[in-house]
Amino acid sequence: MATVTTWQTIATESQESLLNSIPTKWRLPGPVDASITDVRSIPRTCGLLTEKQLELTEQTASELLPKLHDGTLSSAEVTEAFCARAAIAHQCVNCLTAFFSEEAMARARELDGILAKTGKPVGPLHGLPVGIKDIFHMKGKRLTMGYVAWHDNECTTDASVVQILRNAGAVFFVRTTMPQTGMFLETWSNLWGRTKNPFNTNFSAGGSSGGDGALVAMRGAPFCPSTDIGGSIRAPGTFNGLYAMRPTSERTAKRGMGTAAPGQISIKVSCGPNCHSMSDLKLVTEILLTHHGLPFETTAVPMPWRKQIRAQQGDKLCFGLMTTDDCVTPHPPIARALQETAAKLRRAGHEVIEFKPPFDCWEIAHATWQLWFQTGAKETIDLVESSGEPIYSTFQWYLDFFKIKPLTVPELFKLNTKLAECRYSFTRAWHETSERTGTSRPIDALIAPCAPSASFPHGHPVWWGYFSLWNLLDYPSVVMPMKKMRVDPIKDAKGDINHTPKDNVFDKMNWEMYDPELWKNQPLTIQIVKPQFMDEELISVSETIDELCNA
């Protein structure tokens, strides 16, 4: 009689195999003490990294690359340093699904040999270690997407994003976690367990690219290319205090991204970086959006990258400020970050005006969920159930709350029509701001909350609307940390705010869970938005804000 392997056994064996792939020299002596919730200092204090390795891993990609290009640094030494730090990061926050340091070191030495022989780097990312999310097909590696049923799903080809980055000279060395189903703002699966926030391990690291966000925040990789169909680049960036960008989806190469439901094309996925600086964000986004070496990429518009945008920007800018979507009120520290940003812009001579969406964001959120799951999430649920594993209860809660069911063709047509109307009305409202600006032109960018909270306790249902609105509109958006700000129990006291929760469960839950002592020292971020295809302009205005707020 054949032995049936349970999903629990598969999960245990997968996690043990991953840990065993980490060399003993990079193993912590035991599990991290649960009383230590801010684990960011452990790589520096554990004694497993040399001073040189600490120095290398605490530099940005933009700082490392010139030295890799001229041979001042070898790819081998940089790759080894990040392999070591990623191994430690995983033991602190559980952010990986695969660790292949020997393969990475072989590629790094190969690149060092090419540079020594030719005197030329292979590409703009020559020799730089890069983590890759467990959603991209990568030949010879498993693609699980957090599903137990796909635990042995070996890829036979490379995704377009993998090809783009490899052609640019990147060295892949780890694969990062994502949640079961890929559709919630934290990273948990039966297969890989829970990914934790390095600032506070009791909080979400974001999702679905939570492994990317946690790894980069721990300095285990200079950047990771993340994906986003409802906030999955920006939530990890927001909750881990990183720079992140969701580009216009129509400009990003999508071939070879895993999905349980490949026919959903109403709201499309995007791909962009989680990283440590605006210069890194700009560098990586340009590489991802120009698709060099992929002549048959049919999933993205072949637009050239426009380099001279900042020179055309003008001295005085005007920003729209969206402080709420009138569905869920952001916590006091989120509001403070927005107001302080606006004040700095005004002091620098720029204009800031109020902006409100021209439609009901509550209604739009419901339409968005229905467009994500046009078949009632049947493919996703069938895949989960095929292994016997349980579906994540929070995901089921969302399906029930938004009354997700299979759509008829007329229902889908009606929702797609609503989507088109929303895009038109928002773009028209944007251009009509020219009637209210001192420049007599439309606002140069919109500043908005990233989320109503600076992360949240594990397993808590939360409002996605501040992220998912821009997916529906396909507006590119940047997440920027306010480096000089953190949640402060004195400045952000709950009792100082006279807030009456709105008549919806999300606003009530959001306000009830807020405790400034619990969120103390969590990073604060803002979101900066531009209309579709204006990715270069978005980066340009974001650079202006970054210089004012983070210099």
The closest alpha carbon to 204, from 457, 523, 392, 509, belongs to 457
**Strand ranges for 182-289 from DSSP E:** 188-189, 193-194, 224-228, 243-246, 270-275
The closest alpha carbon to 192, from 456, 33, 389, 394, belongs to 389
Catalytic residue among 75, 133, 196, 270: 133
Strand partners of residue 352: 319
Instruction: Give me the amino acid identity at 29.
Output: P
The answer to whether 536 and 283 have CB atoms below 8 angstroms apart is no
- Nearest-angstrom CA–CA distance, 254 and 270: 8
Other C-beta atoms closer than 10 Å to the C-beta of 279 total 16
CA pseudo-torsion sign 175, 176, 177, 183: negative
- Nearest-angstrom CA–CA distance, 236 and 234: 6
Clarify whether 67 is annotated catalytic: no
Which CA distances in Å does 202 have to 33, 38, 196, 232?
13, 9, 7, 19
Q: CA 445, 450, 456 angle in degrees (round to 5)? A: 175
The closest alpha carbon to 180, from 417, 381, 450, belongs to 381
CA pseudo-torsion sign 313, 63, 133, 28: negative
- Nearest-angstrom CA–CA distance, 271 and 251: 9
Catalytic residue among 74, 160, 189, 208: 208
- Nearest-angstrom CA–CA distance, 124 and 188: 34
Catalytic residue among 232, 249, 270, 542: 232
Residue/partner pairs of 291-298 with CB below 8 Å, 24 or more apart:
291/160, 291/164, 291/253, 292/123, 292/164, 292/167, 292/168, 293/163, 293/164, 293/167, 294/160, 294/163, 294/164, 294/253, 297/160, 297/253, 297/255, 298/255
The answer to whether 325 and 408 have CB atoms below 8 angstroms apart is no
Clarify whether 133 is annotated catalytic: yes
- Nearest-angstrom CA–CA distance, 90 and 193: 12
Element (H, E) at 38: none
Q: What is the DSSP string of 68-107?
A: HHHTSS-HHHHHHHHHHHHHHHHHHH--EEEE-HHHHHHH
Tokens 């992360």, located at residue: 455
Residues serving a catalytic function are 133, 208, 232
